């Protein structure tokens, strides 16, 4: 059963039960009030009649006789019974004898009230004891309750009509309110089904009012957005892994093909020693390239799950480390490199120095490999701002191909303008992973003036003490 039907039926049951209870109470009070009114009027009339008989009796010296009592009471009231002191019925009017026998006459001085049934008629009877000079009599006055029951039936009919009208109105109001209450629920149901079919196509629900169900809708929106972000990340990772596997396969197959070709050449019986030596040199070079590839991939994976070992280091230590790295890399370069450290700043840096050094090695290695054969230059500069420390590493090499600027930190993307580089294109990917681990930002852009590119490392203020 749908929740809307359950709510509707629940409200209807509550309304019907409430109206029924209230109606029963109203009918009961009305009926009791009618009976009480008839009973009161009957007892009052009986008391008045009794006093009148006693006054008439006291006016005569010897008192009045039985026939005088009967005559006076019979003339005073229409519906009356008279009993003698032995409680024998001596007068009755409009009441059958068998009905009169139902009346219990006691010797009590208190007036008695009884309810009797005469055929289909219901009666209320009040009996009072009257002491006269000669004898004692019992006078019973009775009233037909027909008007009370007629009024009760009329009231019951009116209540039933009113209940029906109220029920119809209440049912309509409850139906409308139930539909309104469940609007967010219906929206949530439709949204959840659409979300199951295609999470990324989900559009946040717009709240229609301010209540608990709207808060639930807002929570659902937040949950959906978090899941969308997770799905987007998973899809991105899956695409990245697929692309990475494709590049990796290519990078492995290329040197293996060369190695296999030269190995077959060496195995040929007719090959001369000069050719054999050249083949061995190519095999060593490609094997070294494969080894470097394995090392770089290991680094890339390692920096995805790195544990930081941070400490405060001085700017002098940072400057010395940069200089040492440049000197070490420059020794392996085939061309002369001019290195300058401009505008060094004084500060304390909170960082993992081994990760920072690894980042600098990869950035500076890429910069040196991009330099021209003659006049190569690398300039490192620093500036302290309100946002933290900004370090720039600028070269005058071939720069980055415009169509690769957005992907330069992706694996196996070299960014070369000329295509002359033969390195793996994993260095900047490692730099990006280290930057994310340190909570730094790194960007790369072509120089606006002259050739080359600039790597910008932005270190937040929280990691700097001036």
Rg (CA), the chain: 55
Tens of pLDDT, residue by residue over 189-228, are 788 888 888 888 878 877 767 777 778 878 888 888 888 8
Helix/strand/coil percentages in the chain, nearest 5: 55, 20, 25
Please compute the mean of the pLDDT values over residues 329-354 and round it to a whole number.
Answer: 84
316 band by pLDDT with thresholds 50, 70 and 90: very high
Taken in order 63, 67, 71, 73, the sign of the CA dihedral is: positive
DSSP strand pairing (311-314 vs 348-351): antiparallel
Tens of pLDDT, residue by residue over 98-121, are 667 778 888 888 888 888 877 777
**What's residue 311's pLDDT?**
92
**In which residue are the tokens 């900047």 written?**
428
Count CB-CB contacts under 10 A for residue 351. Answer: 21
Give, in degrees to the nearest 5, the angle at Cα 43 between 40 and 48: 120
361 band by pLDDT with thresholds 50, 70 and 90: confident
Q: In the CATH scheme, what is the code of domain 212-299? A: 1.10.287
Q: In the CATH scheme, what is the code of domain 307-465? A: 3.30.565.10
β-strand partners of 453: 446
DSSP codes of every residue in 5-61: HHHHHHHHHHHHHHHHHHHHHHHHHHHHHHHHHHHHHHHHHHHHHHHHHHHHHHTST
Domain boundaries, the chain: 3-168, 212-299, 307-465
* Least confident segment among 80-94, 278-292, 379-393, 405-419: 405-419
Q: Which of 323, 317, 366 is nearest to 341 (CA)?
A: 323
DSSP codes of every residue in 226-272: HHHHHHHHHHHHHHHHHHHHHHHHHHHHHHHHHHHHHHHHHHSTT--
The larger pLDDT score, comparing residue 365 to residue 8, is at 365
Say if CB 363 and CB 393 are below 8 A apart: yes
What is the C-alpha separation between 327 and 314, in angstroms, rounded? 20
Say if CB 143 and CB 81 are below 8 A apart: no
DSSP codes of every residue in 112-126: EEEEEEETTEEEEEE
Say if CB 7 and CB 178 are below 8 A apart: yes
The secondary element (H helix, E strand) that includes residue 445 is strand 441-446
455 band by pLDDT with thresholds 50, 70 and 90: very high
CATH superfamily of the domain spanning 3-168? PAS domain (3.30.450.20)
Segments in 59-182 forming alpha helices (H): 66-76, 97-100, 146-181
Say if CB 261 and CB 241 are below 8 A apart: no
Please compute the mean of the pLDDT values over residues 157-168 and round it to a whole number.
Answer: 84
C-alpha 132: how far from chain center: 88
419 band by pLDDT with thresholds 50, 70 and 90: very low
Residue 428 has pLDDT above 70, yes or no: yes
What is the C-alpha separation between 88 and 230, in angstroms, rounded? 103
**What's residue 187's pLDDT?**
79
Angle subtended by helix axes 353-369 and 427-438, to nearest 10: 150
3-168 shares its CATH topology with 307-465:
no
Q: Which of 441, 346, 330 is nearest to 378 (CA)?
A: 330
- Long-range CB pairs of 417-425 (<8 Å, 24+ gap) are 421/369, 421/370, 423/366, 423/369, 424/251, 424/289, 424/292, 424/293, 424/296
**What's residue 414's pLDDT?**
60
Q: How far is CA 351 from CA 1, 11, 107, 201, in A?
A: 62, 65, 114, 41
Say if CB 123 and CB 113 are below 8 A apart: no
Q: How far is CA 117 from CA 28, 45, 95, 104, 383, in A?
A: 20, 21, 11, 14, 112
Mean pLDDT of the chain: 81
Please compute the mean of the pLDDT values over residues 325-339 and round it to a whole number.
Answer: 79
Q: What are phi and psi of 195, to 5 degrees?
A: -65, -35
What is the C-alpha separation between 33 and 37, in angstroms, rounded? 6
The distance in angstroms from the start CA to the end CA of the chain is 69
**What's residue 421's pLDDT?**
44
């Amino acid at each position: 059963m749908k929740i809307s039907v359950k709510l509707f039926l629940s409200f209807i049951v509550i309304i019907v039960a409430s109206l029924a209870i209230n109606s029963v109470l109203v009918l009961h009070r009305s009926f009791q009030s009618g009976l009480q009114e008839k009973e009161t009027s009957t007892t009052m009339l009986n008391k008045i009649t009794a006093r009148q008989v006693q006054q008439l009796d006291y006016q005569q010296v010897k008192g009045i006789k039985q026939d005088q009592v009967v005559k006076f009471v019979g003339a005073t009231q229409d519906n009356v019974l008279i009993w003698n002191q032995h409680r024998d019925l001596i007068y009755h009017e409009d009441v059958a004898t068998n009905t009169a026998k139902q009346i219990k006459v006691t010797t009590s001085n208190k007036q008695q009230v009884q309810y009797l049934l005469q055929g289909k008629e219901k009666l209320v009877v009040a009996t009072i004891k009257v002491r006269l000079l000669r004898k004692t009599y019992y006078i019973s006055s009775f009233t037909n309750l027909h008007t009370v029951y007629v009024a009760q039936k009329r009231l019951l009919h009116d209540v039933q009509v009113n209940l029906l009208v109220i029920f119809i109105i209440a049912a309509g109001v409850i139906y409308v309110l139930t539909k309104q209450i469940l609007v967010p629920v219906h929206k949530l149901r439709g949204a959840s089904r659409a979300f199951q079919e295609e999470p990324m196509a989900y559009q946040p629900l717009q709240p229609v009012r301010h209540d608990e169900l709207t808060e639930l809708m807002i929570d659902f929106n937040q949950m959906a957005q978090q899941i969308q972000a997770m799905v987007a990340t998973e899809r991105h990772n899956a695409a990245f892994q697929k692309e990475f596997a494709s590049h990796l396969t290519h990078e492995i197959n290329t040197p293996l093909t060369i190695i296999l070709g030269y190995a077959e050449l060496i195995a040929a019986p007719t090959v001369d020693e000069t050719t054999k030596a050249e083949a061995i040199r190519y095999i060593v070079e490609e094997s070294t390239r494969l080894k470097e590839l394995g090392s770089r991939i290991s680094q890339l994976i390692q920096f995805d799950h790195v544990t930081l070992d941070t400490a405060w280091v001085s700017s002098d230590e940072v400057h010395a480390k940069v200089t040492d790295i440049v000197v070490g890399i420059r020794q392996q370069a085939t061309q002369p490199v001019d290195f300058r450290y401009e505008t060094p700043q004084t500060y304390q840096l909170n960082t993992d120095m081994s990760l920072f050094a690894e980042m600098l090695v990869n950035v500076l290695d890429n910069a040196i490999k991009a330099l021209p054969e003659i006049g190569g230059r690398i300039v490192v500069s620093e500036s302290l701002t309100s946002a933290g420390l900004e370090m720039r590493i600028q070269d005058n090499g071939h720069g980055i191909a415009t169509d690769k600027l957005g992907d330069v930190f992706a694996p196996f993307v070299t960014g070369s303008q000329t295509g002359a580089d033969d390195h793996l294109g994993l260095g900047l990917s490692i730099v990006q992973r280290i930057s994310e681990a340190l909570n730094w930002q790194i960007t790369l852009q072509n120089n606006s003036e002259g050739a080359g590119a600039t790597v910008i490392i932005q270190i937040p203020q929280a990691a700097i003490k001036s």
